[in-house]
Chains A and B, each alone.
Chain A
Amino acid sequence: MTKKTAFWIFLLGTLSSAVLFLAATWDTHRQVATLSNVDKLSEQVVAGKRAFEKYNCNDCHTILGFGGYYAPDLTKVVQRIGADGIRYRVKSPELAFANSWRKMPNLNVSDAEIEDLVAFFTWVGEINNNDWPPQDSKKRLSRGEQAMVATVGVSPGAAVFQTKGCMNCHALGGTGGTFGPALDTIGRELSATQIRTYVRDPKSVDPKAMMPAQTGLSDRELEEVAKFLSNLK
């Protein structure tokens, strides 16, 4: 190989890759409007993005998987903890994370900014991004559920509990979140029917409940998890 051949390898390699990349960039711009629901990208969503940047949220949390890995991903945060969950955590993190071994700073975010943030996260949560992240994906987790029932031999209800994000807030046997109460003996207090009603819509039982309504669970999943929890005594 001569130096001249080597030069042509360089030139063609660079140009071919650049042309492909720029063409795909042009096409991406064309498609992003649909994929990200630009019609719903309101002024309030943009204001929320500005607040998100103003408080440097992104250096602890990831969004669309990018940023700091110190705190949960925020892509589907509305689906996971609900708008009220976001409001409470941003407004009073010292209370929300009082029992957690990892803290969130209180950045004195104003009420208006919190509403903007909620609008921003709601919009981000609806971006069509190939069903990421897996932990918030309805499709993937049912697969994880099946795997657990098949391989670990846990009951279907326990599998639902572990894979539907309940443990983001609740703990069993010391493992899980500290945001909601531990559920080790919940069966002493509530029956399966009561659990079912509560999980489906907590506010219908207790208007002050912080827990978001679990609308993502199928009837079968709800029944199994209620049966599982009511047996914990």
Chain B
Amino acid sequence: MEYRSQKIAYWYFVAALPLFVLQVLLGLYLGSSYAFTIPQEIVDVFSFATARAMHTNLLVLWMLLGFMGGAYYIVPEETQSEIYSPVLAYFQLVALLVTGVVALIGFFFGWTQGRPLLEIPRPLDLVVVVGALIFLFNIGMTMLKANRWTVIQGTLLGGLVFLALLYLFGIPFYKNEVIDWYYWWWVIHLWVEGAWELVTGAILAFILMKLTGVDRQVVEKWLYVEIGLFMFTGIAGTGHHYYWIGAPRYWLWIGGIFSALEPLPILLMVIDTMMHVKERKTQIGNPLVWTYAIGCAVFHMIGAGVWGFAHTLPQINYYTHGSQVTVSHGHLAFFGAYALLNLTTFYFAMPKIKGIEVFDDRRGTYGFWTMNVAMMIMGLTFGVAGVLQAYIERVLGMGYMTAQSYMRLWMLVTIIAGVFFLIGLLTTVTDLLTLRPAKQEA
């Protein structure tokens, strides 16, 4: 750690980790609801819908906290200056956490906007917007005052501003269900296949540059190409969500073509990660951080690239749209692209903040592999369930519950994998919160 205000990041990471654990616990409840019969008395009080709202909002909350923490860590080093106002940064952390907790408790009592992933009620949306403005102000002022612009900084700031702007499209009440979904995707798709990719690209470029010692000019050149391709394929690629909502037919073409190209920038990310690692000018100090960085690029490719491509063409999507195939893709993509990116950031930054040069990574390595294998299995079992559903319900037309009865076994296997994932996650969280220096080998 070179700058004192980088310490802010530590508390963002510490806040994010328990939320991730809670997200997984709720996931296990959701899985159980598929595999077993939850009695009417319980369903009446704590429905699948409530648990799902919590599961998904926790995901967004912990990941955004991770991104913000990542920004607070990276920006001082990139600008070579302290954060403009650490007080505002801590205030914003508390404000966001309180909003999150109030929202979660609110869901339990039915206080909701009632739109998937955007369940946070409108009054709380305003608090979120204020929090985002404080964050952008703080980061922006730091960069302006330092006036040492780099591509990494620009991409990071651009991504964060884009992210905040898009959130606004999720706030109004739309009378027309078609228009509602049209703009819902401006938040969801343009986040995960636009703004978040910019943030990810910037963070990963920064970490790779620091880890490998590869020249900034080279890293930033590839970053430009990467984000250029992400934007080119991602923006018009939003069309793959407009096939069946009552939008004009040409979206089948726009969505199909652009989203078929979406794996390209991810592939480029994998290639340039590997390239930088090969051409490294430094020693591998903490192997686990390298494992995470490469794991993130590869799993990003599998989850978002391959799985996304698998059902993005209209001819296939007609049968898989809104089935467990989507769930399979969602889990692999979010974990591969964004959970692993955040964990990479945590493993990169937290030892440095604590002043540990080489940390003991035995527990962390177990955690990494347990989570990755378990999530891959979950992706496959969700996927099998999804294909069964698409075939039995959609192709054969045998009815929703008939398909569900055949999928039950696979959801049970998913829960078992989920328990292993939880074990891996608890190991990882414990490890991150109690990092210790590696014992010097004699």
A interface, CB within 8 angstroms of B = 1-3, 6-7, 9-14, 16-18, 20-21, 24-25, 27-29, 31-32, 35-36, 38, 41, 46, 49-50, 52-60, 62-73, 93-94, 97, 100-106, 120, 123-124, 127-130, 132-135, 141, 144, 148, 162-169, 175-178
In the complex, are the beta carbons of A128 and B116 less than 8 A apart?
no
Chain A residues near B248 (CB-CB < 8 A): 24, 27-28, 31, 35
Interface string of B31-57 (1 = CB under 8 A from A): 001100111100110011110110000
CA distance A141 to B397 in the complex (A): 7
CA distance A28 to B324 in the complex (A): 29
Minimum CB–CB distance for A75 against chain B, Å: 8
Chain B residues near A67 (CB-CB < 8 A): 116, 322
In the complex, are the beta carbons of B47 and A28 less than 8 A apart?
no
In the complex, are the beta carbons of B233 and A35 less than 8 A apart?
no
Minimum CB–CB distance for B268 against chain A, Å: 11
* Residue with the greatest number of chain A CB neighbours at <10 A, chosen from B49, B50, B321, B323: B49
Asked if B355 is at the interface (CB within 8 A of a chain A CB), the reply is no
Chain A residues near B229 (CB-CB < 8 A): 9, 13
Q: Given A3-B217, A10-B227, A10-B231 in contact, is the A20-B116 Cβ separation under 8 Å? A: no
Closest to B323 in A: A69
Asked if B82 is at the interface (CB within 8 A of a chain A CB), the reply is no
Q: Given A6-B225, A59-B53, A60-B47 in contact, is the A167-B398 Cβ separation under 8 Å? A: yes
Asked if B299 is at the interface (CB within 8 A of a chain A CB), the reply is no
Chain A residues near B177 (CB-CB < 8 A): 36, 49, 63-64, 120, 123-124, 127
Q: Given A10-B224, A59-B116 in contact, is the A38-B235 Cβ separation under 8 Å? A: no
In the complex, are the beta carbons of B258 and A17 less than 8 A apart?
yes
* 24 A-B pairs whose Cβ atoms sit less than 8 Å apart in the complex: A1-B221, A3-B220, A13-B229, A14-B227, A32-B182, A36-B176, A56-B50, A58-B114, A59-B48, A59-B116, A60-B52, A64-B181, A64-B245, A64-B246, A65-B321, A68-B48, A69-B324, A69-B327, A70-B33, A105-B40, A105-B44, A130-B252, A163-B396, A164-B397
13 additional contacts (CB under 8 A) given A20-B236, A38-B176: A3-B217, A7-B224, A17-B233, A20-B254, A31-B248, A41-B175, A60-B48, A64-B244, A94-B40, A102-B37, A104-B43, A132-B244, A133-B322
Chain B residues near A27 (CB-CB < 8 A): 248
In the complex, are the beta carbons of B238 and A21 less than 8 A apart?
yes
In the complex, are the beta carbons of A163 and B48 less than 8 A apart?
no
Q: Given A49-B177, A53-B114, A135-B394 in contact, is the A177-B247 Cβ separation under 8 Å? A: no
Closest to B233 in A: A17
CA distance A176 to B398 in the complex (A): 7
In the complex, are the beta carbons of A130 and B249 less than 8 A apart?
yes
Interface string of B203-236 (1 = CB under 8 A from A): 0000000000000010011101101110111111
Chain B residues near A64 (CB-CB < 8 A): 177-178, 181, 244-246
Chain A residues near B53 (CB-CB < 8 A): 56, 59
In the complex, are the beta carbons of B184 and A66 less than 8 A apart?
yes
Minimum CB–CB distance for B295 against chain A, Å: 26
Asked if B243 is at the interface (CB within 8 A of a chain A CB), the reply is yes
Chain B residues near A50 (CB-CB < 8 A): 173
In the complex, are the beta carbons of A130 and B243 less than 8 A apart?
yes
Asked if B251 is at the interface (CB within 8 A of a chain A CB), the reply is yes
CA distance A164 to B398 in the complex (A): 8
Closest to B314 in A: A130
Chain A residues near B400 (CB-CB < 8 A): 71-73, 135, 168
CA distance A138 to B340 in the complex (A): 44
Stretch at the interface among B7-15, B373-381, B401-409: B401-409
Contact of A177 among B184, B221, B401 (CB under 8 A): B401
In the complex, are the beta carbons of A168 and B399 less than 8 A apart?
yes
In the complex, are the beta carbons of B402 and A167 less than 8 A apart?
yes
CA distance A13 to B268 in the complex (A): 15
Asked if B319 is at the interface (CB within 8 A of a chain A CB), the reply is yes
Q: Given A58-B114, A59-B52, A135-B397 in contact, is the A21-B235 Cβ separation under 8 Å? A: yes
In the complex, are the beta carbons of A65 and B235 less than 8 A apart?
no
In the complex, are the beta carbons of A53 and B178 less than 8 A apart?
no
In the complex, are the beta carbons of B232 and A14 less than 8 A apart?
yes
Asked if B286 is at the interface (CB within 8 A of a chain A CB), the reply is no
Closest to B185 in A: A66
Asked if B239 is at the interface (CB within 8 A of a chain A CB), the reply is yes
